[in-house]
A and B are shown apart, each in its own frame.
Chain A
């Protein structure tokens, strides 16, 4: 049911608004992710990286181009799509319903897709993300930020997808909690052969989690590269080099040499 887990995007274009007010948020973006691969989209705010992810998750329905997941056309709204690709959002304080228990949050996707055996599946999912059964009947306000993000990941796993779409999954968390969540995602990917598409502004997180990455600026992909090349400090484009330098900490000379790529 969950398909091979490949993702392809061709000439994706997204506009918000009309006429002179229109914002061209994504401009002709193309990339593909092989089954089981982990691919990063990195960029600054407004670069269009999250919009690409939202198109793939079916959350943005007004776009041009081609996008497929496991060979299924994302535009078709095929009911199988949510069972193949699931999304984890940035802010676990906002993405969980405050008046639903963990149990209800996790069981809902099963009910929608008519999958039985909910009780056992909920317990399994909680175990998979490192939360014991003791968390099952808690409300989000009884959980820390890291525990909430684990619940959000468990929810994304309920339909046993082959693709995880991750939108800044650790940027709202403390660094020690970030390490726990990144380790969890690593382990889930290894155990389940998941394809991951990770959006982040943090180059170090992308380098840690991904095999390849694409750098976005103003709605377009500036360059696509292997993480190994990033580690060697070998980006081709000046924009990526600047982003890399700025990510390495404060340096007076680097700050003075910054140029605008708007």
Chain B
């Protein structure tokens, strides 16, 4: 079976007064119908990697790759019209902050229904029915009431679940989730992850889960890529993340406080310049 997504030698750079800054430097991976985690700290290039797949980069970014294909479509050479047909309907993107992702002057339910109508090609009545069902699926208790609310009337956690509902209602084949649960309380986070888990297991959706939370990624994903300074420094089975060998991954894991340990001092990371290339 051919992979859903294939990326080879992906590079993103930005012009600066002192020459180009390479934010993503030769990332390669392929994705099947699985949960792939990408972890790293701020500036590691993990979010840009996710956005490159949708070709949603800032206008001044230069993108190149030896290969960037989604289900047989070459995303690098695809015309805008093809990309627009993929975005939202076949490849969904969930961002961290619902404040900037929801339309502030449109009822949240209408936004979800719009996604179902445009990408799913269903009637207005069916779109409304699907939007309500999806609100219920993301554990919103009173979907009818929430349907009619505006974004400023919902809490951050609820806004995030609405975003997720909007992205899932067209039933995409690939979902790129960039820190989708970082703003959520841990109990809500668990429930949202269970929804994503179901979609991968039942519908065979591919999921790219971008996060800074190593413990969460190792417990939720199948496979993990660890990024540092624009490169993948280590790839592991998620369950086996504790056995990581790269000093950066090991350093990150050790610097996490844990409920069951009594270390007074946490080891801090001393960054080795060689990690940029090693």
Question: A-side interface residues toward B, CB under 8 Å?
Answer: 44-46, 145, 174-176, 178-180, 182-183, 186, 201, 203-205, 207-209, 230-231, 233, 242-244, 246-252, 254-256, 258, 260
| B187 CB contact (under 8 Å) in A180, A186, A258 | A258
| Chain B residues with CB under 8 A of A208 | 257-258, 263, 266
| Chain A residues with CB under 8 A of B269 | 176, 179
| Chain A residues with CB under 8 A of B185 | 44-45, 201
Decide if B252 touches A246 in the complex (CB within 8 Å).
Answer: no
Q: Does residue B272 face the partner (Cβ distance < 8 Å to A)?
A: no
| Chain B residues with CB under 8 A of A44 | 185-187
Decide if B197 touches A252 in the complex (CB within 8 Å).
Answer: yes
| Chain A residues with CB under 8 A of B252 | 175-176
- Residue ID in chain A nearest B258 by CB atoms: A204
> If the complex has contacts A45-B156, A231-B262, are A242 and B219 also in contact, measured as CB distance less than 8 A?
no
Decide if A176 touches B41 in the complex (CB within 8 Å).
Answer: yes
Bound CA–CA A209/B197 (angstroms): 33
Bound CA–CA A145/B187 (angstroms): 28
| Chain B residues with CB under 8 A of A247 | 186, 259
Q: Does residue B233 face the partner (Cβ distance < 8 Å to A)?
A: no
Decide if A258 touches B191 in the complex (CB within 8 Å).
Answer: yes
| Chain A residues with CB under 8 A of B41 | 174-176
Highest count of chain A CB atoms <10 Å: which of B190, B193, B255, B258? B190
Decide if A258 touches B190 in the complex (CB within 8 Å).
Answer: yes
Bound CA–CA A203/B185 (angstroms): 12
| Chain A residues with CB under 8 A of B251 | 176
Decide if B268 touches A180 in the complex (CB within 8 Å).
Answer: yes
B4-12, B68-76, B210-218 - interface stretch: B210-218
Decide if A175 touches B187 in the complex (CB within 8 Å).
Answer: no
| Pairs A-B, 6 closest by C-beta atoms | A249-B219, A208-B257, A179-B255, A44-B185, A255-B194, A179-B266
Bound CA–CA A243/B197 (angstroms): 20
| B260 CB contact (under 8 Å) in A179, A183, A231, A249 | A231
| Chain A residues with CB under 8 A of B219 | 248-251
| Chain B residues with CB under 8 A of A249 | 215-216, 218-220
- Residue ID in chain A nearest B251 by CB atoms: A176
Taking the nearest CB of chain A, how far is it from the CB of B235, in angstroms? 19
18 A-B pairs with C-beta separation under 8 A: A45-B155, A145-B42, A175-B214, A175-B252, A176-B269, A178-B257, A179-B256, A204-B257, A204-B258, A208-B258, A231-B262, A246-B187, A247-B186, A250-B216, A250-B219, A251-B190, A255-B190, A255-B197
- Residue ID in chain A nearest B198 by CB atoms: A252
| A174 CB contact (under 8 Å) in B42, B216, B262, B264 | B42
- Residue ID in chain A nearest B269 by CB atoms: A176
Question: B-side interface residues toward A, CB under 8 Å?
Answer: 41-42, 141, 155-157, 185-187, 189-191, 193-194, 197, 212, 214-216, 218-220, 251-252, 255-260, 262-269
| Chain A residues with CB under 8 A of B197 | 250, 252, 255
| Chain A residues with CB under 8 A of B255 | 175-176, 178-179
> If the complex has contacts A46-B155, A183-B265, are A255 and B259 also in contact, measured as CB distance less than 8 A?
no
Highest count of chain B CB atoms <10 Å: which of A145, A254, A255? A255
Bound CA–CA A180/B155 (angstroms): 32
Taking the nearest CB of chain B, how far is it from the CB of A181, in angstroms? 10
Taking the nearest CB of chain A, how far is it from the CB of B145, in angstroms? 15
- Residue ID in chain B nearest A256 by CB atoms: B194
Bound CA–CA A182/B266 (angstroms): 8
Bound CA–CA A130/B210 (angstroms): 32
> If the complex has contacts A179-B267, A251-B219, A255-B194, are A243 and B187 also in contact, measured as CB distance less than 8 A?
yes
Bound CA–CA A45/B42 (angstroms): 24
Bound CA–CA A242/B219 (angstroms): 17
Decide if B42 touches A250 in the complex (CB within 8 Å).
Answer: no
Given A174-B42, A249-B218, output 5 extra A-B contacts at Cβ < 8 Å. Answer: A205-B257, A207-B259, A246-B187, A255-B191, A255-B193
> If the complex has contacts A175-B255, A176-B251, A207-B257, are A250 and B190 also in contact, measured as CB distance less than 8 A?
yes
| Chain A residues with CB under 8 A of B212 | 174-175
| Chain B residues with CB under 8 A of A179 | 255-257, 266-269
- Residue ID in chain A nearest B195 by CB atoms: A255
Decide if B266 touches A183 in the complex (CB within 8 Å).
Answer: yes
